[in-house]
Amino acid sequence: MIVHTPPGHAVCLDLRDPAADVQAALDVPQPGRDRRFIVVDDADRIVAHQREYEQLSSYGPARIVCLAVGANGERTLRRSLTLRPTNAGVLWLLDPHGGGNRAGDPDAALRPLVDVLAPPDVFDALLRALGGVVHGVAVPSVRLLEHDLTDEARARVWRQALERLAGPDAPAQGGGEPPPPALAPLLDDSLPASLAGHDWLPAGGRAGARLRDCVAALADVVADCEQIRGPAGLFTGVSRAPDLPGGLERLAEALTRFRNTVADAFTAASGPRLTAEHRARIQEFGIALPELPPEVTRAGVVPGLRDHTEALVARPLPLRSVAARLAALSARSAPAGSAARLARLDELCDPGYLRHLARPVPFTAGGSRPVAAVVTGVLAYLAGLWPLLGWGLGPVAGLLAAGLAVLVLRRRPSRSPGGRLDGGGSTGAAPRLFGGVLGGLAGAATGQFLGPPAWAGAAGLLVGVLTILLLAVRDWSRGVDDWWTRTDAEYAGRITRDVQALVAETAVHDWLFAEVRHHCSDASGTLAHLLRRLARTADDHNRPWTTAPSAPTAEKPPGASDSWDDWTDWDDAADAWSDGSADAWDEPSGDTWSSPGTASDRTDGRIDGPPDGPTPPHPTVPHPRRPLHADTLPSWLERQLGDGGPALLDTLVDDLVQGTVLVLDGCWAGLERDPAGVTGDAFDAPMGQLLDDTHERLLRDAAASPPRYAADPHDRPDAARLTGVATDRVARLVTAEDAEQTVPLCGPEHRRLLSQDPSAVRRVAFVPEAMRRDAGRDEQRDGRLGAAEDVVWTPGGRHAGVVHLVPLRADVVRTVREEESEAP
C-alpha cells in the first residue's frame, strides 16, 4: 500500500501490508531524477523484503529511508545490503510512541513522523545524517512542535475565502465605468488618430453633394440677412431682392435631403458585419470608407481583454462581479448595426426643426408699444415748440415716426417678394401715430404760449426728427436680429457638422470595426460565462472538508485500497511487547537520551498517549493529513492549535486569485481563435485542482507554504500571522544545545542496545520557512532561530522539530548477504 504524500515529497510504501505494490510506488511521478522512498516495515521482516528493496533501487538512483517498527523481543536488527549508506538508512522505532509507552499505538506515531520526513529537504538531511552513523542504522530521539489551525478555524476561513473568490450573483453592470484603455477605441465612439483627416463625404458623392447644398443654402441666408439689417436695408431697395423666407425654405429642404441620404445609407448597410455588398451600397451613397486603421485589429482584442480581466480579478473582485462587468462589456461592444443610429440622426436633425425652418417666423420691431407712444410723443413735442410753425411741424413729426414704422413693416424679412411666404409682423405704427400727434399738438400749444426764439424751435425740430430717424434704424436692425435669432437658421450649420461626425462615427464603429467589435463581444461574453462557471466550481468546494481530496496516483493493484478514506485512525490501539518482560536496566551517567520525565514536567500542550488496548495485526498508516485524535498523539509531539491569524484569510484569497489567473491562461488562445469553441468543461479540472491544492496546503500547514506560482514567496506572512499561534517555543527547542527535550523512540529496556558515545549522535533540526520569517520580524524573541546555521528550512509544513539519531552498538546491527537471506 502506498501512503500518499504531497507532490515532490518522498513516496511512502508500507510493506507490512500484504497488498503493498512496489511497482505502484515506482510509478508515482517524482521531480527530475530524484527518487525518494520512505518504507515502513516490520523490523524482523526487512531481510524477507530484500527483493522489494532491490526493486526500489533498481530503477535508477534511489534513496531509501526505512522505518523499521520494533520487533517483539528482538535485540538485534538484521538488514539487507540494499539498505546500506549512503543511499539508504534505517530508523529503528523500538517504541514509536516514545518514552517507554507500551500502550501507545505505533501507527498513530508513524503518521506525523512520515509527514515530517517526507519533504525532500528533511529527507535528504536525515539521510546524510544517517550516513554518518555506524551501519547507517539509528534509533531516533524526537521532539516535534505542530502549529496548526483548529478544525473550526480551517472550515471557517475556507468558507470565507471561497465566498470572497466567487461572490454573490451579480447582474450585468459597468455603467459609468471608463472602458479598458486597450479596448477604448472600440467602445468610446472616438476616432483613431490615423483617420482624423479622412474625408468621409467627398464632393463627388451623393451625400457630399447634399452636404454642399446645405452649406450653400445656409451661406445664402446668412449673407441676405447681413445685407438687409443696416440702414440700407430699410431706406433703399436692397431689401426687395433677397428672399429670406424662401432661402430658409431651401435650407430646410437641403437639410432634409441630406438627412434622408444619410438615413438611407445607414439602413442599406446595417448588419453585424461589414460585407462586400455593404461596402458597395455605402459607396453608392457617397460615403468613402478607408481600410481598417492599424490602431485597432482583431489580434489586439484578446490581449486587451486579458489585461482588463486579470486587473479586475487581482483587484480583487469576486469572480461573479468580474463576470457581470464582462457581460456588460459584451453588450456594449456588440455591433448593433448602423440602422440603430437612425434615432441619433433624428435627434441631431430634428424634423420639427426642419418644419420650423421652412415656416416663416413673424417679424416684430419697435419694442413696447406704450413706450413707443410716449417716446414718439416727446419727440413730436420738441418738434412742435416752434411758434406758429409748430402747429404743423409737431404732428408731422408724429406722422414721420408712424410712417417709418410702416416702412419697417413693409421691409420685414419674414415676407417673400410677391408675398408667397409671409410670416406677418408688427412694428407699432398706430401707437406712434397717436403719441406723435398728441405730442406735436402739445408742443405747438406750449410754443405758442411761451414764445421761444426761432432758433430754439428749429433746434427742437432737428433733435426730434433726427431722433425719430435714428430710432427707426435701431428698431429695424434690432428687429431683423431678433427675427434671425428666432429662426435659429445658424443651428443648421451645427446640424451638418454633427451629422458628418455621426457618419464618421458610424463608419468607424458600425462598419470598419464591426468584425473586431463582434469578436470582442463574443470573447467577453464567453469569458463572463467561464468566470461564472469557475465561481460555481468554487461553490461546489465550499463544504466542510476534514480530509484532503484524492490526488492522481498510479493505478492500484487488485485488492489494494488506497483512497484517503482507507487510512483509518486507531484511537485505542497499543503496542505490547511479546516477551512481556522488561530487562533490568541501569541508566548510564551523562545519558543525553533520558526520558522526558513525568507528565507534569513536560512542556504544556503535549497530550499523553492512549490507554492500553489490542494491537491490530497489520494496521494501515493513517494519512498524514488526517487529524490525530488527542488520545493518539505520541509523547514527542506537542500540538498548538490556533483560531487563525490576521493575515490568513487575505493570504488564502490571494493564493486563489493568483491561481485563478493561471487557470485563465488556458483560455486566451482559444478566445483568440474562436470564442464559441471555448467551453467551461476544459477548465473544471484545473480550477478544481487549484482549489484542491489550496485546500491541501491549508490542511498541511495553514497555507504557510507558498504555492508554486507565488510571485514573491519571501513576502508571505509568517506562521504566527497565519495560525494565530506564537512560534517562540520553536526557537527554544531548535536552538537547545542538548537533547533533554527530545524523546527516544525506545523503552528503558532497550537502552543497553544504544551506543554510549554522545559524540556519535547526529542531529537534524528542521523549521518551516514561515517560522523563519516570523523569527526575522522579532529578533529580540527569536533571533537565535533566524541565525541558526544547522537548521533545515523547509518550504512548508506545520511541524518544526529536532531528531537526534542515536547509534546502536556495533554488535546489534547485522548485515545479511543475499545467500543468507535465501536460507530458511
Cβ-contact 46, 92 below 8 angstroms: no
For residues 800 and 686, give the distance between their C-alpha atoms in angstroms, rounded to a whole number.
Answer: 32
Q: Give the pLDDT confidence score for residue 71 in this predicted structure.
A: 66
Whole-angstrom Cα distance, residue 763 to residue 773?
A: 23
| Rounded Cα gap, residues 660 and 654, in angstroms | 10
How far is the C-alpha of 476 from the C-alpha of 409, rounded, in Å?
A: 9
**Residue 163 cell numbers, joined:** 465566498
For residue 560, what pLDDT is reported? 31
What does the block give as the cell for 733? 527547542
Which region among 172-181, 636-645, 691-700 has the lowest average model confidence (pLDDT)? 172-181
The pLDDT assigned to 354 comes to 93
The last residue of a domain, from among 454, 469, 484: 469
> Do 465 and 600 fall within a single domain?
no
Residue of higher predicted confidence among 776 and 647: 647
Q: Residue 350: pLDDT above 60?
A: yes
> Are residues 465 and 607 located together in one domain of the fold?
no
Looking at mean pLDDT, say which of 71-75, 527-531, 679-683, 701-705 comes out highest.
527-531
Which of these, 46, 144, 151, 57, lies nearest to 91 by C-alpha position?
A: 46
Mean pLDDT, range 456-477, rounded to an integer:
90
Instruction: Please report which confidence band the pLDDT of residue 5 belongs to, taking 50, 70 and 90 as the band edges.
Output: low
Element (H, E) at 44: none
Instruction: Give the confidence band of 561 by pLDDT, cuts at 50, 70, 90.
Output: very low
Residue 91 burial (10 A CB sphere; 0-12, 13-18, 19+):
buried
Confidence at 567, pLDDT banded by 50, 70, 90: very low
Q: How far apart are CA 135 and CA 387, in angstroms?
A: 152
Asked whether residue 494 is assigned to any structural domain, the reply reads no
On whether the CB atoms of residues 340 and 382 are closer than 8 A, the answer is no
Where are the extended beta strands (E) located within 740-788? Answer: 743-744, 762-768
pLDDT in tens, 739-782: 567 899 988 888 888 988 888 999 999 988 877 765 555 444 44
- Name the domain boundary from 441, 469, 497: 469
pTM for the full model?
0.71
735 lies in some domain: yes
**Stretch 715-738: mean pLDDT, rounded?**
81
Q: Is residue 685 part of a domain?
A: no
Length of the chain: 824
Q: Across 388-475, where does the E strand assignment appear?
A: 425-426
Sign (positive or negative) of CA dihedral 166, 170, 174, 176: negative
Helix (H) or strand (E) holding 148: strand 137-149
**Average pLDDT along the chain:** 81
Question: Is 207 in contact with 258 (CB distance < 8 Å)?
Answer: yes
- The C-alpha cell that represents 484 in the structure block: 434671425
In a domain, 177, yes or no: no
pLDDT for 255: 95
Q: Strand 637-642 and strand 762-768: pairing?
A: unpaired
Residue 346's pLDDT is: 93
Last residue of a domain, one of 469, 500, 525: 469
Asked whether residue 555 carries a pLDDT value surpassing 70, the answer given is no
Are 460 and 599 found together in one domain? Answer: no
Summarize the confidence of residues 475-501 as an average pLDDT.
92
* Residue percentage of the chain with pLDDT more than 70: 82
Query: Which residue has 412742435 as its cell numbers?
Result: 384
Q: Tell whether 661 is covered by a domain.
A: no
| Residue 379 is assigned to a structural domain of this protein | yes
Give the range of the structural domain holding residue 17, as residue numbers without chain letter: 2-143+595-643+729-821
pLDDT tens column, 651-676:
999 999 999 999 999 999 999 999 98
| Cis geometry, peptide bond prior to residue 316 (ω within 30 degrees of 0) | yes
Give 694-706 as a DSSP string. HHHHHHHHTT-SP
The string over 576-593, giving b where at least 16 C-beta atoms fall within 10 Å of a residue's C-beta and e elsewhere, is: ebeeeeeeeeeeeeeeeb
pLDDT at 418: 77
Model pLDDT, residue 817: 72
Indicate whether 490 belongs to any domain: no
The pLDDT value given to residue 670: 92
DSSP letter at 508 equals I
> CA-CA distance, 356 to 339, in Å (whole number)?
26
Q: Are 68 and 15 in contact (CB under 8 A)?
A: no
pLDDT band at 629 (very low <50, low <70, confident <90, very high): low
How many alpha carbons fall within 13 Å on the CB side of residue 806?
27
Domain count within the chain: 2
Sign, Cα dihedral of 582, 587, 591, 595: positive
Lookup result for grid cell 442599406: 268
Specify whether 463 is located in the same domain as 603. no
Measure the CA–CA gap between 761 and 183, rounded to whole angstroms: 67
CA distance 17 to 620: 7
Question: Is pLDDT above 50 for 324?
Answer: yes
3-class secondary structure, 429: helix
- Residue 442 main-chain phi, psi, to 5 deg: -65, -40
Least confident span in 221-230, 260-269, 530-539: 221-230
Alpha-carbon Rg for the chain, nearest whole angstrom, is 50
Question: How distant, in Å, are the alpha carbons of 73, 74, 101, 227 from that of 749?
Answer: 10, 11, 12, 128
User: For residues 770 and 775, what is the distance between their CA atoms, to the nearest angstrom?
Assistant: 9
* 298 occurs within a structural domain: no
pLDDT tens, residue by residue, 589-616: 333 333 333 333 333 332 233 333 333 3
pLDDT surpassing 80 at residue 395: yes
pLDDT in the model for residue 101: 56
Is residue 64 classed as helix, strand or coil in its secondary structure?
strand
Q: What is the pLDDT of residues 30-70, one digit of tens each?
A: 887 789 999 999 999 999 999 999 999 887 789 999 999 98
Separation between Cα atoms, residue 18 and residue 631, nearest integer Å: 28
Which amino acid is present at 440? G
What is the pLDDT, as a whole number, of residue 14?
93
